Amino acid sequence: MKGLDYSSGRPDLKRVKSLGYGFCVRYLFAPMPGGKGVSKVEATAIRAAGLGLVVVYEEYAGRAKEGTASGVADGHIALAFARAIGFPENKPIYFAVDFNVTTAQLPVVDLYLRGVASVIGLARVGVYGSYAVVEHCQSIQSARWYWQTYAWSGGKVSPHAHLLQYLNGQTVAGASVDLNESRQLDFGAWMPTVAPTIPKPVVVFPVVKPVINPPAIKPTFHLMTPAELLQMVKNAVKK
């Protein structure tokens, strides 16, 4: 499934859907005009347009370098914003590691994600980052959901990625967006509710069997013999 992520841009959602996209990735942040944060109204509009909604939190690009305390703080903030838009409690929140992480920096990224997990639960922790970040976090399970960017990835794509951001800075439906695709059947989207199809009532008319007139009973006649006739007369005389 193809999808978009964007911050300050606001594409025409009906147009997005008509172009064949299936989901949007939006930031959990304080909603304001022109800001990157998704509001409850926008979240509702995305799903009403037939698009899934994925959420990500990013205070700023290097935030994940700051360890456990920052992860705890961001976990609380992201959870509050997710709840404010009605985002389901069983869906993941991705946290951005939006820089070219060195091998030496990976342990502190783990500490940041562990801090997040202490707030929202490890099962909901998603991470956005390079191939190296996704592979590392999956190997030690510091996150459970993986959104890989092509940036800093050297053309590699992790088989563990749920989402892949494969091209940045494109214009779609009137807004600047980045292009993504899902790599797993379940990638953490809050999908739109599909109204069940209500079958038309079937009117059943009673089956009326035709009345079949019974066959007429033909009278049977017995022709008396002369001897029988004589005996009948004798009997009548005796009476």
b/e 21-31 (16+ beta carbons within 10 angstroms → b): bbbbbbbbbeb
b/e 61-88 (16+ beta carbons within 10 angstroms → b): eebbebbbebbbbbbebbbebbebbebe
| Segment 128-155, tens digit of pLDDT | 999 999 999 999 999 999 999 999 999 9
| Segment 178-209, tens digit of pLDDT | 999 999 999 999 999 765 445 566 555 566 56
Q: Determine the pLDDT at residue 34.
A: 82
Average pLDDT of span 77-106:
98
| Chain-centre distance for alpha carbon 221 | 86
8 A C-beta contact, residue 101 and residue 132: yes
Average pLDDT of span 159-181:
98
Between CA 27 and CA 52 the distance in angstroms is 14
Q: Is residue 90 part of a domain?
A: yes
Q: What single DSSP character describes residue 77? A: H
Q: Is residue 25 part of a domain?
A: yes
Q: Is residue 229 part of a domain?
A: no
CA atoms within 13 A on the CB side of 145: 25
Q: Is residue 222 part of a domain?
A: no
Q: Is residue 206 part of a domain?
A: no
Between CA 63 and CA 48 the distance in angstroms is 33
- 103 vs 200: which has the higher pLDDT: 103
- 157 vs 220: which has the higher pLDDT: 157
| Segment 111-131, tens digit of pLDDT | 999 999 999 999 999 999 999
8 A C-beta contact, residue 115 and residue 72: yes
Between CA 136 and CA 107 the distance in angstroms is 10
Q: What percent of the chain has pLDDT over 90?
A: 79
Report the CATH number that the domain containing residue 98 is assigned in CATH: 3.20.20.80
Q: Is residue 218 part of a domain?
A: no
8 A C-beta contact, residue 161 and residue 147: yes
- Of 157, 145, 125, 137, the C-alpha closest to 186 is 145
Q: Is residue 41 part of a domain?
A: yes
Average pLDDT of span 82-95:
98
3-class DSSP state of 172:
strand
Number of domains in the chain: 1
Instruction: Give the residue numbers spanning the domain of 62.
Output: 2-182
- Of 129, 114, 120, 127, the C-alpha closest to 69 is 114
Furthest-apart CA atoms within the chain: distance in Å: 141
Q: Is residue 235 part of a domain?
A: no
Between CA 166 and CA 214 the distance in angstroms is 83
| Segment 22-62, tens digit of pLDDT | 999 999 999 988 899 999 999 999 999 999 999 999 999 99
Q: Determine the pLDDT at residue 193.
A: 75
